[in-house]
Structure 1
Amino acid sequence: MAGLEALESSGSNPDVSLLYDINGLTDSTPGWFDKAMEFVGEYGILLGLVLVVVWCWWGARRRGTLDDAASSVAAVVWAPLAAAAAVLVNVPIRSFVERPRPFKDHDGLTVLLTGKNDFSFVSDHATLAMAMGAALFIAHRKLGLAGLALAVLEGFCRVFMGLHYPTDVIGGFALGTAVALLLSPLASALLTPLARAIGRSRVAWLVWAPTTVAPARGAVELPEARGSAGSAEERDLAA
């Protein structure tokens, strides 16, 4: 770790320079904005990602067949599970690297949230956010893009708050993406049969809630549409 410490103390280290540039934005922001960023960076974005997951699940249930709905719901369920798995993978990484928080080694930083005394690399928040964003992108492209955008914003907030180096965030992005993408086939193989079984149970609405289209008011159903040839008189009237 001596080489890492020497690099961090060097004025030519772009990681530290970028940290000061982003955190230095707090010098020109009002107090209410800093408070808002504190909440958004610590809780708000993760809550937003959870809401996106719920939204995606709600739409995935409305597929035409149970098999389609089961595979879609399984992909959505993988998003929070991927986040949990990525954080578990990060536990030994943090313990091995043992990188202190940036405000412990560098003066002049504005720390918006106190009490963070654990190790800095890799950022748990960045890992969580990007794992969910990447898994959501597999399940639903448009909502996945929203999830990825929220993850990037989460990474910015962590540096802005003075809690992480930019490389902590980049490492979290890489870890979250790797776990979400590499384990996705295994997760699909395990979760899809489970979702299909739930779709046949008493709580089928958790997996499958297809929409039904009611016939238009005043519409006349022809005999052919009822699956019957009908009588000769009915065919003459239909003609």
Structure 2
Amino acid sequence: MSNCSSNPGVGREPEGLSKPIYDTYNPSEVRLYGRPATREEIFKITDEQIRQRIETSLRETSLKEDDLRTLVRIVKEAALGTIDNDVLAGIFRQQIVLAIFDDELKFNQLPVSVNIPSKNFEKGGERYIKSIGVIYGYAYEGQCYKLPKPQIMYLPDEPREILGGDCGCDCGYVPELGYAVWQIDKLERVIALDVRSDDVKTLVLDENMPGSRSPMAYAQVMALAPQRHRD
């Protein structure tokens, strides 16, 4: 009988992943199983489409073809931050940015600084955080475990391809369901996000009140400190 456990599908099968590392034994390695974030380019349009849009905007000018190509290159470099490391470090810093667009299409962002080493990224070094994944389970010291709930994590390594064994899976996770694996030492630093969505009563009031109590008792239960005696 197969020892594979049943896991939900989490997306299309990941493509272009590296093979797992098997050449060395690391007794403190943790294998994280989950769905890797999709990797997409910032620019969805081609250079020719960008050139046409710029050309339309500058219709009243007398720019030459070579000038338009140069302008397209400058716009892309400025947006992507590939001019030099100083610009790149200023645009893509080692942080998390939570963002939404409002009804007026204004960009609302909340940068979250993280206490994560960057390995001298500002000086042309290597970035520490390299991928994002929704982690569903993990393996440690030859045993497989499931998380109580999926966890979004920023991770210091790239996801790798899952290779099936005798039962065609690895801890019950198969690439056909969209899973990948991260091989990370247990002392490496990661960032875990706790994302929940519900009404305010559930996430704020009920979450912080022990037991089921009457709403009239809420103020008494949530008192943080005794009142000071006034003179």
- TM-score above 0.5: no
Please classify the TM superposition score into its range, dividing by the shorter chain length: under 0.3
Per the normalisation by structure 2, the TM-score is: 0.23
Q: Specify which structure has the bigger relative contact order, considering alpha-carbon pairs within 8 angstroms and separated by 6 or more residues.
A: 2
Report which of the two has the higher share of helix.
Answer: 1
Report which of the two has the higher share of strand.
Answer: 2
Per the normalisation by structure 1, the TM-score is: 0.23
